Structure 1
Amino acid sequence: MYCDFWNLTQAPFNQRLDLEYFFESEIHEEALARLLYIADEQKKCGIFSGPAGTGKTLTLKVFEQLLKRTPHQSELIDLIGLGEEEFIWQVCASLRLGPSFETKLPQLWRQLTDYLNGLQLTQGRQILLLDHVDQARTECIPALERLLHVGNQQFPSLSLVLALDKMNLSQADTLSRISDLSIELDRFEQETTESYITSRLSWSGCQTDLFSAAAYQEIQSVSQGIPEKINQICDLALLAGFEQSLSTIDADVVNRVCHEIRGMPVSRNRISEAIQRV
């Protein structure tokens, strides 16, 4: 909607999990290095944590692409809301073991056990990237431990990467016991936030700095360095700037946008009018 006004080739702050929008900060670079260490050194399990919105899912997708250049096989599975039977079915389906919708849990475990035993005999490597582990049902956590046991009896054939926002108390003992390495995505510092914003603008064809120094500081303060929140603020700020025909986005625009996000629109903020005209 505002791309022509700002001379952009595309909206720079959309929330799509698109690999071309991956920003490899020092934090993300370190996370990828640790993930590759798990794969290359045949570690059984890594806990990949960080506040919601820091980019864990997109980092897993990038890691999955990197693994395609290696002998390791990998699958990415989202565990939101899954119980043990649904989880094991998803694993079997991702590994192309041919489970039917009627296959019961004991048969699913048998299919998976046979596959992992065969993998150990051939000294193959399988890496499962499991997202939103903290939002799976509690019964999935013992299943993770069982998976690691089955997949590493004769040869270290199976590695798990468990991504979560925070470790629940009910999960803490088991996850701490099975983890070989902790990987954390932290919030951006001020300098990284500015670099992130300018990079996304540059990827969208922007040749000038659209945000003032004070605007950057306000974005950092409100977003607390969370990329997902930064995207939301910057997207609405560009919309507000378009509606008001501004040449740059200042701290006042950012502040008013943040009121909109919190559901507290102020009288000078006319973002809603711009949206209604679309």
Structure 2
Amino acid sequence: MYETYYGLSGRPFSLRPDPHFFFGSKGHTRAMAYLEYGLSQGEGFIVVTGEIGAGKTTLVRTLFQQIESDGFVVAHIVNTQLNCDDTLKMVASCFGLPCEDGASKPVILARLETFLRGCGAQGKRALLVIDEAQNLTPRVVEELRMLSNFQTDSESLLQTFLLGQPEFRVTLHRQDMQQLRQRVIASYHLGPMDQADTQSYVEHRLCTVGWQDDKLSFTADAQAAIYAYSGGIPRKTNHLCDRLLLMGFLEEIRHFTAAEVQIVVQDIEQEFGQPVQPEGIAAVALDEGETAIFSNQYPALLDERILRVEKTLGSVLSVLKKIVRGQAVANLSVDNLE
């Protein structure tokens, strides 16, 4: 919606993990080095942990984009709320193998082994990527470890990437996970970006879609406000900046200060957080059976939201009028030519 207004070729702050927008912050550059080292070893487990939205999936997808795809067969699992049998079926399915409901565990394992040996015979390496690994039960983790036993005399037939939130490390440090820990050849915790990297991250994503600073800019205090809200987490930064540019488009703002950032932050917190009762509004007891949504704090908040919506609609109408006028002028010019 706002891309044309700011002269951008695409949405710079999409929430989906896209290697096209990968930014090598200090932490992401180090994490990539660990991944590249682990991949070069061709065996065992590679573990990457980080907070929600830290960029773990984007990191791994960027790595796979950089390697020669002809030499690898990759299976990516994102649904980890599974038991042991279902996990094996999911692995087989992601590698393109049949896994009908009646197939037993020995049959699935036999198919996997045959497939992995076939990959090895063709000179290809099989990689298994498990996202949201913090949801895996210890039994499922052990089942995945057993898959690493598929190997020839000279090489391992399967290498596994485990991507998870910080609590996955609690699972790894369980006493019964010792055999798995011995097979982890590379591990890295991806922390948040600092303020300098966050600013560079925002500018990098904008530059990727053709940013020109005369059409869109952020003051230093706006950048500081973005970092204060996001804490250096890429996904939170994307969410905030996407909403910020949408508001800017609707209200015809090209140069953002901390004031505009705070307005958007307040909107987000009101939508997803607990509303705060405005000062100066006296408490009113609810009648019996009356729900909390009709408590005294909500009319004031709703009034504020309605005013903001009215202002937004006014901006939209203004933009539509400009578009209609522009089309009318264009049609008039065509008529004159005829």
TM band (smaller chain): 0.7 to 0.9
Aligned in 2, Cα 1:271/1:225: closer, same or farther, shift over 3 Å?
Answer: farther
Write out per-residue CA displacement over residues 165-211 of structure 1, whole angstroms, 9 at most, x where no aligned residue: 12343443325343222122221111111111111112222210521
Q: Is the CA contact 1:39–1:72 (under 8 Å) kept in the aligned structure 2?
A: no
Q: State the alpha-carbon separation in 2 of the partners of residues 116 and 9 from structure 1.
A: 42
TM-score, reference length from structure 1: 0.86
* Residue 209 of structure 2: aligned partner: 204
Q: Is the CA contact 2:71–2:123 (under 8 Å) kept in the aligned structure 1?
A: no
* Residue 237 of structure 2: aligned partner: 230
Match status 1:76 vs 2:76? yes
Aligned in 2, Cα 1:242/1:117: closer, same or farther, shift over 3 Å?
Answer: closer
Q: State the alpha-carbon separation in 2 of the partners of residues 94 and 124 from structure 1.
A: 16
Matches within 5 A, 1:48-197: 48-69=48-69, 71-116=71-116, 125-151=125-151, 155-168=155-168, 169-173=170-174, 174=177, 175-197=180-202
AA matched with 1:135? N
Q: Is the CA contact 1:12–1:201 (under 8 Å) kept in the aligned structure 2?
A: yes
Q: Is the CA contact 1:123–1:155 (under 8 Å) kept in the aligned structure 2?
A: no
Q: State the alpha-carbon separation in 2 of the partners of residues 247 and 27 from structure 1.
A: 31
Q: Is the CA contact 2:78–2:130 (under 8 Å) kept in the aligned structure 1?
A: yes
Aligned residues: 278
* Residue 308 of structure 2: aligned partner: 270
**In terms of mean alpha carbon deviation, does 185-194 or 111-120 score higher?**
111-120
1:122 CA drift (Å):
7.8
Identity %, equivalent residues: 25
**In terms of mean alpha carbon deviation, does 121-130 or 182-191 score higher?**
121-130
Q: State the alpha-carbon separation in 2 of the partners of residues 152 and 220 from structure 1.
A: 50
**Greater relative contact order (CA < 8 Å, ≥ 6 in sequence):** 1
Write out per-residue CA displacement over residues 40-65 of structure 1, whole angstroms, 9 at most, x where no aligned residue: 12241111111110111122222222
Q: Is the CA contact 2:52–2:165 (under 8 Å) kept in the aligned structure 1?
A: yes
Write out per-residue CA displacement over residues 101-130 of structure 1, whole angstroms, 9 at most, x where no aligned residue: 331223212222344456677886322121
1:76 CA drift (Å):
2.0
**CA-atom RMSD in angstroms:** 2.9
SS of residue in 2 equivalent to 1:109? helix
The partner residue of 2:260 within 241, 253, 258 is: 253
1:231 CA drift (Å):
0.6
Q: State the alpha-carbon separation in 2 of the partners of residues 30 and 20 from structure 1.
A: 19
Structure showing greater Rg: 2
**In terms of mean alpha carbon deviation, does 70-79 or 104-113 score higher?**
70-79
1:67 CA drift (Å):
3.2
Q: State the alpha-carbon separation in 2 of the partners of residues 113 and 99 from structure 1.
A: 14
